[in-house]
């Protein structure tokens, strides 16, 4: 899996697995998650955090049970959180249960960023988008970001809707002291490029 090779090569400070909805999970799905996380742990010794969420309808924020992850936590030494979490200086992460009132990619994330006054990383909308804005009342302030990180699930194109889930993930690099976000799109073949390096089968 290209994403596992990417993590193994770059060895980030932390990997956050954002899982928007866990209701209706199956034994097969649990086995798949355990297998993937086990392979991740085998090549990465840093912090792995599962940010779980359980929501209903189109609620933007989800806080729910993490019980479905308990077998994985004990075996692999993972941490599990739910709800809104600090993920980098000036950044919060959360799981959504859908794109909200707008299906314009990034719209929900930037709306939440304005409301919280912090940059937002948002999973669960199935959109891959990065929207930045400078507060009009303080041009010297840091850019406020709304970051929707896409999905890692391959989905068949739908003819019933103009909305198509986007495969991808996000990277936030704070090594310079200012957190810099990057949206990484994944093709249907599973290939992607980050910092000039292409990961392909």
> How confident is residue 32, by pLDDT bands cut at 50, 70 and 90?
low
Phi, psi dihedral angles at 134 (to 5 degrees): -100, 125
Domain for residue 15, yes or no?
yes
Look over the chain and give the mean of its residue pLDDT values, rounded to a whole number. 81
Tokens of 146: 């709304």
| Number of domains making up the chain | 1
Domain for residue 200, yes or no?
no
Query: Percentage helix, strand, coil, to 5, in the chain?
Result: 25, 30, 45
- Return the ∠ at Cα 192 (arms to 13 and 51), rounded to 5°: 40
Res. 110: pLDDT tops 90: yes
Domain for residue 85, yes or no?
yes
Question: Which helix (H) or strand (E) element contains residue 9?
Answer: helix 2-10
Domain for residue 126, yes or no?
yes
Whole-prediction pTM? 0.82
Domain for residue 113, yes or no?
yes
Which domain range does residue 85 map to?
2-193
Domain for residue 198, yes or no?
no
The pLDDT value recorded for residue 61 is: 45
Phi, psi dihedral angles at 65 (to 5 degrees): -75, 145
Closest CA to 122 of 131, 187, 56, 157: 131
């Amino acid at each position: 899996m290209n994403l596992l090779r990417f993590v193994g090569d770059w060895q980030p400070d932390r990997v956050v697995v954002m899982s928007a909805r866990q209701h209706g999970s199956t034994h097969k799905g649990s086995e798949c998650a355990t297998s993937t996380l086990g392979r991740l742990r085998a090549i990465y010794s840093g912090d792995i955090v599962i940010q779980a969420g359980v929501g209903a309808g189109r609620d933007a924020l989800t806080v729910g049970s993490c019980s479905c992850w308990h077998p994985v936590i004990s075996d692999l030494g993972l941490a599990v959180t739910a709800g809104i979490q600090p993920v980098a200086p000036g950044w919060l992460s959360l799981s959504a249960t859908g794109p909200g009132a707008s299906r314009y990619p990034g719209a929900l994330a930037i709306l939440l960023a304005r409301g919280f006054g912090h940059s937002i990383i948002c999973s669960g909308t199935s959109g891959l988008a990065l929207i930045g804005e400078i507060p009009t009342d303080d041009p010297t302030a840091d850019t406020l970001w709304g970051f929707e990180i896409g999905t890692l699930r391959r989905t068949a194109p739908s003819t019933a809707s103009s909305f198509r889930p986007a495969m991808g993930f996000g990277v936030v690099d704070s090594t310079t002291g200012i957190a810099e976000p990057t949206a990484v799109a994944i093709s249907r073949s599973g290939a992607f490029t980050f910092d000039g390096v292409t990961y392909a089968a």
